[in-house]
Amino acid sequence: APAVPDMDAGPARSHLFYQSRHRRPLLDRAKGVHMWDVAGKRYLDGSSGAMVSNIGHSDPVVLEAMRAQMEKSTFGYRLHFENAPAEHLARLVAELSPEGMDRVFFVSGGSEAVESCLKLARQYALAIGEATRFKVISRYPSYHGATLGALALTGYTTMTAPFAPMMHEMPKIPAPTCYLDRDGLTMEERGRRYADMLEAEILRQGPETVLAFIMEPVGGASTGALVAPDSYYPRIREICDYYGVLLIHDEVMTGAGRTGRFLASEHWDLKPDLMALSKGFAAGYAPLGAMVASDKMVEAVMEHGGFIHGYTYAGNPLACAAGLAVLRETVRRDLPGNAAHIGDLLKARLEGLKERFAFIGDVRGKGLLLAVELVADRDTMDPLPPENMAAARLVDLAYDRGLIIYWRRTRGGYVGDHVMVCPPLILTEPEIEEIMGPLEESLA
């Protein structure tokens, strides 16, 4: 038998394919907003992993629901059995989704949820006799997933460039980075101007070829919690309706309460045609995601020969039991409300850091989807030199001090630095200090 290494000592050479810049310590346990490595060092999970652990770690209600389901069944293939957790979870998701969006297709992650939206959209176009529509317009910067379909929509050149020949090129418009513009317009005027870029692109492509437009209602890690001016959102819906283009919301990061409402789109009362959920949806307790669609679209596709798509693990009872418990607790404890309240307090504290640190260019976001952008000059918003690796270094300094945050090169991977400060939605007011202390020290 192969020797079992002493994992607590840390393997001398890992067989894992690490993607972190450093070897990180072995995780031992996690509870609430805290995590411990095997050496006993405690961390505050200031980014909920990758904006995942919305209800915190080791929640006893979720663990109990999973334990109870595990003792009954963990897997039943969806073509052989339906299962009660999936049924209940689908009903709850439909209740929490905009009116008319009441059909839920479960998957195992965010990329799969986005892929599912693409494939349902295309099959719907075929079902209603619009076979010429296949282009999906997206924005840059953006992130929609790692699989080749979702990656084709991703506006992040460092991630897409190696695979360009393997993907069908999809048109992209600029994300509404209005805060960077120096043009004398008001924010609301800028918001409409960015939305109008969608119309220009649809016309450039030929409306009869455009299937859908996909966006994150509040930008995720690619843009650093980018929120558009209010004027942007209704104009986007209007343009999509006028040209018969489906609106897909990627709420993988923003959904499940992260921005202070169950869905980020609720802030603008914006109704998509299709929606992708994952991350906080099962909050790290199981690999789970969902596509949410209207009855009308699903029925049309089903009548036209059925939905040609599916994943083996999709909708398995254990993942759905975890998701159901997470969602029930999210509602029962009003975690979106806590995200709004604590998010406002935390954002104000982050704003306060601007006084001390001239290199903080912008603090933005909604609820507990917050980002701090680091710049060379706040007036011009010129970025720091890339070789400084400012955001990455800030993350490392914070990590040493027991605070986990998340970084990305911003603005599409070309220039700029930001860190995401996105703790679990259960964060309490006193715990804000556990973020601010190490963060301020690291900035200094």
- Between 172 and 193, name the residue whose CB sits nearer to ligand PMP: 172
Under the binding rule (CB under 6 A), the answer on residue 159 touching ligand PMP is no
Interface segment toward ligand PMP; rule CB under 6 A; list 183-191, 246-254, 375-383, 425-433: 246-254
CB neighbours of 306 closer than 8 A, spacing ≥ 6?
A: none
Closest approach of ligand PMP to the CB of residue 428, in Å: 26
Which secondary structure element, helix H or strand E, spans residue 64, and what is its range? helix 60-72
Which stretches within 213-258 are classed as H helix? 232-243
Closest approach of ligand PMP to the CB of residue 274, in Å: 13
Closest approach of ligand PMP to the CB of residue 272, in Å: 14
User: Which residue, 211, 110, 220, is CA-closest to 168?
Assistant: 211
Closest approach of ligand PMP to the CB of residue 114, in Å: 6
Q: Kindly identify the residues of this chain, within the stretch 169-228, that bind ligand PMP according to CB under 6 A.
A: 216, 220
The two three-digit tokens of residue 73, written as one number:
């069944």
Q: Kindly identify the residues of this chain, within the stretch 40-59, that bind ligand PMP according to CB under 6 A.
A: 50
Q: Kindly identify the residues of this chain, within the stretch 70-109, that bind ligand PMP according to CB under 6 A.
A: 109
Among 47, 53, 97, 111, binds ligand PMP (CB under 6 A): 111
Binding mask 133-152 for ligand PMP (x = CB under 6 A): ----------xxxx------
- Between 220 and 336, name the residue whose CB sits nearer to ligand PMP: 220
Closest approach of ligand PMP to the CB of residue 270, in Å: 16
β-pairing verdict for 210-215 and 360-366: unpaired
Q: Kindly identify the residues of this chain, within the stretch 274-313, that bind ligand PMP according to CB under 6 A.
A: 278
Among 114, 297, 321, 391, binds ligand PMP (CB under 6 A): 114
3 state DSSP class of 165: helix
Neighbours of 108 (CB within 10 A): 20
* DSSP state for residue 420 in the 8-state scheme: E
Binding mask 378-417 for ligand PMP (x = CB under 6 A): ----------------------------------------
Q: Are 214 and 138 in contact (CB under 8 A)?
A: yes
Q: Kindly identify the residues of this chain, within the stretch 326-345, that bind ligand PMP according to CB under 6 A.
A: none
With 0-12 CB in 10 A as exposed, 13-18 as middle and 19+ as buried, what is 390? buried
- Between 85 and 149, name the residue whose CB sits nearer to ligand PMP: 149
Which secondary structure element, helix H or strand E, spans residue 419, and what is its range? strand 417-421
Closest approach of ligand PMP to the CB of residue 435, in Å: 21
Total of residues contacting ligand PMP (CB under 6 A): 15
Among 33, 210, 252, 384, binds ligand PMP (CB under 6 A): 252
The residue number with the shortest CB distance to ligand PMP is: 110
Neighbours of 30 (CB within 10 A): 17
Sheet of 27-31, strands arranged across = 27-31, 34-37, 42-45, 403-404
The two three-digit tokens of residue 255, written as one number:
């959904």
CB neighbours of 440 closer than 8 A, spacing ≥ 6?
A: 353, 356
Q: How many helices (H) and strands (E) does the chain have?
A: 13, 16
Closest approach of ligand PMP to the CB of residue 7, in Å: 26
String of DSSP letters for 311-338: -TTTT-HHHHHHHHHHHHHHHHTTHHHH
Under the binding rule (CB under 6 A), the answer on residue 361 touching ligand PMP is no
Closest approach of ligand PMP to the CB of residue 89, in Å: 17
Task: Supply the Cα-derived Rg of the chain in whole angstroms.
Answer: 22
- Between 103 and 139, name the residue whose CB sits nearer to ligand PMP: 139
Residues in contact with ligand PMP by the rule CB under 6 A: 50, 109-111, 114, 143-146, 216, 220, 250, 252-253, 278
